[in-house]
A and B are shown apart, each in its own frame.
Chain A
Amino acid sequence: MIQLNNIEKYYENGAIKTFVLRQLNLEIQEGEFVSIMGPSGAGKSTLLHILGMLDTPSGGEYHFYDQPVHQLNERQTTELHRDHIGFVFQSYHLIDELTVAENLETPLLYQKVKSNERKGRIAEMLDRFNIVAKKGLFPNQLSGGQQQLIGIARALITNPKLILADEPTGNLNSAEGERIMTHFKHLNAEGVSIIQCTHSEKNAAYGSRIINLVDGWVDADERTSS
């Protein structure tokens, strides 16, 4: 599904180039649950953003299925990630001015999903995450765990093939974190590919493959037994 060849990312500050990702090669198959680990500043988020086409690499090639992402324009990559990828963030990133239901609706609007079907899918998501009662509330009226659930629901509502999660449990207590991870496990079982970044060994272990990123290099890449 994902094929990275010699992906580079650097920031230029005057004449000085600061590399964040160096000559990265990586292949990820459909159905995998990958955990990316590494110290702070290792480039995990950067890698995830590049995978999600929110950021462009400074060099190298990126194939998503058979599409050469590095050759596509902004509109094409927007279409590609809109239709195939869902995002979950550490700090949830819900739109403050919209209610829970409206937040869930937003991706569907951009996919031009019909009104009736939108209602159906929102109801389904609210049901699935047990948050029907919260649908009219605004994000700041919810706890962190609840907000992250909405974040996941929003990522899932478009039925993506791939979920990219950047430290999804970083701001949650351990019980909340565990619930989220269980959700991911179920999703993966249903066939959704997941790539998450995490600091926690325990959460990483939910995945089927752990990649250790250090200073922009893949330091280790191993499959877990689970």
Chain B
Amino acid sequence: MLKNYITIALRNLTRHLGYSFINIIGLTVGMACCVLIGLFIQDEFKVDGFHTKSDRIYRLLRETRLDDGNTDMGYGTSGAAGPALKRDYPEIETVVRYMSWGGIWTKHEDKRFNQQFCLTDPDFLSVFDFELISGNRETALSQPLAVIITQSTAQRFFGDQNPIGKTLSVDDRYMGGDYIITGVLKDIPQQSTLQFDILCATVNTFWTRSVFENWQPNSVWRPANNYILLREGANIKSLEQQMPKFMAQYMGEEILEKNTYFLQPFKRIYLYSKADYDIPFYSDITQIYSFATIGLFILIIACINFTNLATARSARRAREVGLRKVVGAYRSQLIRQFLGESFLLAILAALLALIAVYFSLPNLNDFVEKQIELSGSTLYFTLGSLLTLTLFVGGLAGIYPALFLSNFNPARVLKGTLAAGVRSGRLREVLVVFQFAISAFLIASTYTVYQQLEYVRSKNLGFNKDQIILTNIFSTDRLLNDRYLNIKNEFLQHPNILKASASHSSMGYGGQLDRVFPEGKANEEWKMRVLGVDESFLDTYDIELIAGRNFSLNIATDSTQAFLLNETAVKRLGWKEPLGKKFEWNPEVHGSNGRIVGIVKDFHNRSLHEEIQPVAMAMWQPKFNVLSLKVKGQNTEETIAYIGQVWKRHIPEKAFEYRFLDEQLNDYYQSEQRMGALINIFSGLAIIVASLGLFGLASFTAEVRTKEIGIRKTLGATVPNIVLLLSREFIILVMIANLIAFPLAYWAMQEWLNSFIYRIEIGILIFVVSGIITFTIALLTVSTQAIKAALTNPIDALRYE
């Protein structure tokens, strides 16, 4: 019996290749997309999960309530908090501090590389499971000046030589020292939020000690993170409840009034930082939901195709059903037969999907910068989900056609009075509407996403970001700061270098948030981002001065006593006459005679994820890091070569590095642009699968109505008449689908846009576009079939019956 079924199924498959192709390819694409999305999501959830103790690890967060009503949630906390917590609370097994220092130039003999340097506690390796290849896990970090490095770093410096016992020299105000390598770590997996090349547990300088070991309750610059390992069975809630007491005890009631400590589960850092604590960082769970939704949509569309095509095709199978009943088939046997066929298709699709996943995974990896491999748990996941999908699709999409087909009354089928299938499919119409509603929804959504990202890309930032080259020449050699004017001039000698400005930080980072003391606000705590800039910053960046004056080299006191404010700062301060008001910042350095000398128009010193905040600008020559060079659009290569020469003249021992500002700014939006593109791709696939289904359906309609078409043509119907006749039904369905999709898409996109501070308005255009696209797709797929049918010779059509 099974052989009989398989024979029938295979012969049906090969005899109606077009149909089988549409069905299997649709399913394949659907399954492959689902699996790829699933792998991506699974990988996202795996981040930081590979540490055996990860469920017991928490990160200390500090929330600060600012006087302007905003709150500021940060994961940087006082370095002294860690040891105090460990000492005071028995339920805490240990605390490790972790301070990422970013890229630091590191040297061994004549080799120099920029490496991610991190400072931590000796306990680090007992809390986190990073794999040590050589060295002693317990003691590697406890010796003074010991560092452990990753395999890649070891390879980079020492090739195949054993790095243990070798020295790495770091020349840095905070991290400087000659370190001894005591261990090599396997490279940090990409599924880790902790990323570093070199790890050290020795506090070697006065500067580091100040941030790593002190409370500094009022400082806003807190680079240390505290990772708390709880004892097994300890209650995190009760510990969190004791945090106010802890804070008051060590930092005073005044700090407690405006600050709160939270304990963030380590495993939730990657996906839930935004959702739980509104820390815009890492990936975001809402993105995961979007992907899951699209994956589900694709699957639903593929299932609908499957069901629709099978029932549409029922006309062809009706006679077989009737006959089988005549020769004694139970209904249940027929149901089994047709379910079996749908499983066969599903299995074929699953096999193809497996191949597709295997070959497209590298592309996905490139795209989302992951390293997902099909092995171990991901392989089981892939096979498991394909099996589940096969059962799901084979069963769910197969059951309706099976019930539908097996229910035919043999007497009626064989008498030919049952024009089975094609025109009696109310359910099929509903499904087509559903399918196209999803497509219209996806089109409207992807279009909105695209527009929003485009808007962010092209938004006027309040300054000119074009043709600006950044080099960090001053941070590379502090001694150059004193001569910054000479160096600037040297660059400016080249005709293609138009303007130059030295500053503490670049646009995007946007200055450091710091305590300031505006006139008349002695009793309030004011914080602003303070940009350390030189006198040509406004000119170089085309920032508009709307009142007062710019910094001037001719006024000696400007270097310590002059401040510029942006409009927002003036507004927040409520100052009607801001010019000449007293303003203090960092009094130990700048003294107490500061004045506001000018007001600039607001500009986006930070990324567009953040609203424009109060900004103060000061000349802060000793802390210049960055040099911004405005260059001409032509001969850029030559200009860059010249910049390189000047660099070489001043700091010959260090490699020349530069970046274009617009590229650097783009980094802030890279992840969402990548996600946007990924959403586009998957939505596109969903729409293709949906149109495949419609194509198949249209061809069956045309086929079943061949006789009708033949008769109509002999009666004088023209080709357009017939095309219209065949297309009308689908066009109406697509119209209904759009009407259903619009309000849903509007609502969903409004929700999504709300997460952006600067966002587009959803206009009617989005719906016009998705309407036009769905109609075009529907019309193209349906009318090619209709035209084909309309063009056949009517005599052929009639003889066919």
A110 with B411, Cβ < 8 A, contacts A93-B322, A97-B15 known: no
In contact, B15 and A102 (Cβ under 8 angstroms): no
In contact, B11 and A87 (Cβ under 8 angstroms): no
In contact, B320 and A95 (Cβ under 8 angstroms): yes
- Measured between beta carbons, the chain B residues less than 8 angstroms from A87 are 326-327
B409 close to chain A: CB less than 8 A? yes
In contact, A78 and B329 (Cβ under 8 angstroms): yes
Contact of B415 among A45, A98, A109 (CB under 8 A): A45
B 313-344 to A, binary, CB cutoff 8 A, 1 in contact else 0: 00000011011111111110100000000000
In contact, B327 and A154 (Cβ under 8 angstroms): yes
CB distance from A51 to the nearest CB of B (A): 11
Task: Report the Cα distance A154→B328, complex, angstroms.
Answer: 12
Stretch at the interface among B1-9, B505-513, B617-625, B786-794: B1-9
A55 with B409, Cβ < 8 A, contacts A81-B328, A93-B323, A95-B320 known: yes
In contact, A107 and B414 (Cβ under 8 angstroms): no
A105 close to chain B: CB less than 8 A? yes
In contact, B8 and A95 (Cβ under 8 angstroms): yes
Task: Report the Cα distance A92→B426, complex, angstroms.
Answer: 32
A32 close to chain B: CB less than 8 A? no
CB distance from A106 to the nearest CB of B (A): 6
A 72-105 to B, binary, CB cutoff 8 A, 1 in contact else 0: 0011001101110001010001111110001001
Q: In chain A, what residue has the closest Cβ to B416?
A: A91
B636 close to chain A: CB less than 8 A? no
Task: Report the Cα distance A111→B12, complex, angstroms.
Answer: 24
Task: Report the Cα distance A130→B296, complex, angstroms.
Answer: 57
- Measured between beta carbons, the chain B residues less than 8 angstroms from A95 are 8, 319-320, 323-324
A78 with B15, Cβ < 8 A, contacts A55-B409, A95-B320, A102-B7 known: no
In contact, A97 and B414 (Cβ under 8 angstroms): no
What number of A residues sit within 8 Å (CB to CB) of B? 30
Task: Report the Cα distance A190→B494, complex, angstroms.
Answer: 115
B163 close to chain A: CB less than 8 A? no
CB distance from A80 to the nearest CB of B (A): 9
B410 close to chain A: CB less than 8 A? yes
Q: In chain A, what residue has the closest Cβ to B11?
A: A97
- Measured between beta carbons, the chain B residues less than 8 angstroms from A158 are 327-328
A110 with B333, Cβ < 8 A, contacts A45-B415, A95-B323 known: yes
Contact of B414 among A75, A81, A93 (CB under 8 A): A93
CB distance from B340 to the nearest CB of A (A): 14
Task: Report the Cα distance A75→B411, complex, angstroms.
Answer: 16
- Measured between beta carbons, the chain B residues less than 8 angstroms from A74 are 331
In contact, A83 and B331 (Cβ under 8 angstroms): no
In contact, A82 and B323 (Cβ under 8 angstroms): no
- Measured between beta carbons, the chain A residues less than 8 angstroms from B15 are 97
- For chain B, residues 535 to 587, give those with C-beta under 8 angstroms from any C-beta of chain A: none
- Measured between beta carbons, the chain B residues less than 8 angstroms from A199 are none
Q: In chain A, what residue has the closest Cβ to B15?
A: A97
Task: Report the Cα distance A80→B412, complex, angstroms.
Answer: 20
Contact of A102 among B4, B12, B327, B410 (CB under 8 A): B4
A54 close to chain B: CB less than 8 A? yes
Q: In chain B, what residue has the closest Cβ to A45?
A: B415
- Measured between beta carbons, the chain A residues less than 8 angstroms from B333 are 110
A110 with B324, Cβ < 8 A, contacts A45-B415, A97-B15 known: yes
A119 close to chain B: CB less than 8 A? no
- Measured between beta carbons, the chain A residues less than 8 angstroms from B12 are 97
Q: In chain B, what residue has the closest Cβ to A164?
A: B326
In contact, B7 and A54 (Cβ under 8 angstroms): no
- Measured between beta carbons, the chain B residues less than 8 angstroms from A45 are 411, 415
A135 close to chain B: CB less than 8 A? no
- Measured between beta carbons, the chain A residues less than 8 angstroms from B409 are 54-55
A109 with B4, Cβ < 8 A, contacts A78-B328, A81-B328 known: yes
A185 close to chain B: CB less than 8 A? no
A98 with B328, Cβ < 8 A, contacts A54-B410, A55-B409, A55-B411 known: no
Most buried by A among B4, B8, B15: B4
Task: Report the Cα distance A74→B319, complex, angstroms.
Answer: 19
A22 close to chain B: CB less than 8 A? no
Task: Report the Cα distance A96→B11, complex, angstroms.
Answer: 10
Task: Report the Cα distance A27→B664, complex, angstroms.
Answer: 96
Q: In chain B, what residue has the closest Cβ to A49?
A: B411
- Measured between beta carbons, the chain B residues less than 8 angstroms from A94 are 323
- Measured between beta carbons, the chain A residues less than 8 angstroms from B326 are 52, 54, 81, 87, 93
Task: Report the Cα distance A145→B563, complex, angstroms.
Answer: 106
Most buried by A among B12, B320, B326, B329: B326
Task: Report the Cα distance A12→B329, complex, angstroms.
Answer: 28
In contact, B325 and A54 (Cβ under 8 angstroms): yes
- Measured between beta carbons, the chain B residues less than 8 angstroms from A106 are 4, 323-324, 327
- Measured between beta carbons, the chain A residues less than 8 angstroms from B11 are 97-98
In contact, A110 and B331 (Cβ under 8 angstroms): no
Q: In chain A, what residue has the closest Cβ to B2?
A: A109
Q: In chain B, what residue has the closest Cβ to A157?
A: B327
In contact, A93 and B327 (Cβ under 8 angstroms): no
In contact, B8 and A97 (Cβ under 8 angstroms): yes
In contact, A78 and B325 (Cβ under 8 angstroms): yes
Interchain residue pairs with CB less than 8 A apart (26): A46-B411, A49-B410, A55-B411, A55-B412, A74-B331, A75-B331, A78-B330, A78-B331, A82-B328, A83-B328, A87-B326, A87-B327, A89-B414, A93-B323, A94-B323, A95-B324, A97-B320, A102-B4, A102-B7, A105-B4, A106-B323, A107-B328, A110-B1, A110-B327, A158-B327, A158-B328
Which 3 A/B pairs are nearest by Cβ-Cβ distance? A82-B328, A107-B327, A55-B411
- With A78-B325, A110-B327 given, name 16 new contacts (CB 8 A): A46-B411, A49-B415, A54-B410, A74-B331, A75-B331, A79-B328, A81-B328, A82-B327, A83-B328, A95-B8, A97-B8, A97-B15, A98-B8, A98-B11, A102-B4, A110-B329
